[in-house]
Amino acid sequence: MNDLLTVRNIVVAAVAGVLLILPIYAQAIGNLFLLSLFTRIVILAIAAVSLNLIMGFGGMVSFGHAAYLGIGGYVVGILAHEGVSSGFVQWPLAMVLSGLFALVIGALCLRTRGVYFIMITLAFAQMVYYVAVALDRYGGDDGLTIYRRSQFADAIDLSNKTVFYYLCLGVLFAAVYLVWRIVNSRFGMVVQGARSNDRRMRTIGFPTFRYRLACFVIAGVLCGLAGVLLANHTDFISPAMMHWTRSGDLIVMAVLGGMGSVFGPVIGAVALLVLEEALPYLIEFVGGIFTSQDITTAREYWQLILGPMLLLVVLFARGGIDGLLADIRRG
């Protein structure tokens, strides 16, 4: 019993609990922005969890993960634009296309290692980005508004914000569970073994390339699903969904939260995006204590605080927030 009551587990339970009751709280105080913000957080957390599967456990640092967000989103957007708004068509198609894309680029990228892998995944993501920019019929650079969210007959209504939030949260928990199961399976052990020592794994008879490729594809499908949700959430798609800085954001979420654990990226996503929203107010509040002058303009400069904070996390908290929490117990 004592093993379960670590600071780390309490924080994980607290984050999961907050995510679960958030819509009720948002309704109670009538703050709809809060619900919208957390829907975004949950969706990006799904993407970060999927990235963590290949990055944290498989050692494949993909700097092009946002491409799947874009593919998933564009499938929904393009089909909706062409009059096919059935989610039974859109969602499976988006996942299949993300998987196929992952299969093709994975087969090429996995030939390289280390930094070269980082850059070649970036290259493929940039290609998808420019394809989206060139899609004049679907808005090109300006993007495309989606007038109807995915329709699931009468089963589920995505335009209901609370329902949509819980759907996303359900997908997130399912993704975390899936990744947890994969990591602890024989398949996951092989992938992790290949991260530590690929040559040794091959010597004892595992065709690691296939295992790593399969893992890469699973992550791609999962992130494509996150893209589907993101497009439905914003009712809008544009190439900006898969700009390289978005891929960077996903890496930051995973590293910030802690790559060693399955739930780490969720903590990272919540921490990063909540900080982005909260820091301006924090600056105003703290400034208000020291001076009575009007300092609302200082709120704009929140990145001046966030940047060094990220650097401090890297310097002093190895293993991200999750590693920090695990350290507390060890004393």
Positions touching another protein (CB under 8 A) are 55, 61, 108, 111-116, 118-120, 122-124, 126-127, 130-131, 133-134, 136, 244-245, 248, 251-252, 255-256, 259, 300-304, 306-311, 313-315
Q: Which is nearer to another protein, 119 or 163 (CB)?
A: 119
Q: Which is nearer to another protein, 213 or 259 (CB)?
A: 259
Q: What is the CA radius of gyration of the chain?
A: 20
Q: Which is nearer to another protein, 84 or 305 (CB)?
A: 305
**Least CB distance to another protein at residue 330 (A):** 21
**Least CB distance to another protein at residue 139 (A):** 13
Dist CA 16 CA 22 (whole Å): 10
Q: Residue 252, Cβ neighbours under 10 Å: how many?
A: 18
**Least CB distance to another protein at residue 262 (A):** 17
Give how far Cα 311 sits from Cα of 103, 268, 306, Å: 34, 14, 9
Tell me how many degrees the CA angle 153-158-164 measures, rounded to the nearest 5. 140
Residue ranges of E strands in the chain: 144-145, 236-237
* Residue 63 tokens, joined: 């700097």
| Residue 30 and residue 87 in contact, taking contact as beta carbons nearer than 8 Å | no
Q: Which is nearer to another protein, 109 or 169 (CB)?
A: 109
**Least CB distance to another protein at residue 307 (A):** 3
* Residue 319 tokens, joined: 């293993």
Q: Which is nearer to another protein, 248 or 287 (CB)?
A: 248
Q: What's phi and psi for 6, nearest 5 deg? A: -90, 160
**Least CB distance to another protein at residue 119 (A):** 5
**Least CB distance to another protein at residue 310 (A):** 3
| Residue 63 and residue 247 in contact, taking contact as beta carbons nearer than 8 Å | yes
Sign of the Cα torsion 124, 130, 134, 138 reads positive
Q: Which is nearer to another protein, 92 or 308 (CB)?
A: 308
**Least CB distance to another protein at residue 140 (A):** 9
* Residue 258 tokens, joined: 């802690």
Q: Which is nearer to another protein, 10 or 108 (CB)?
A: 108
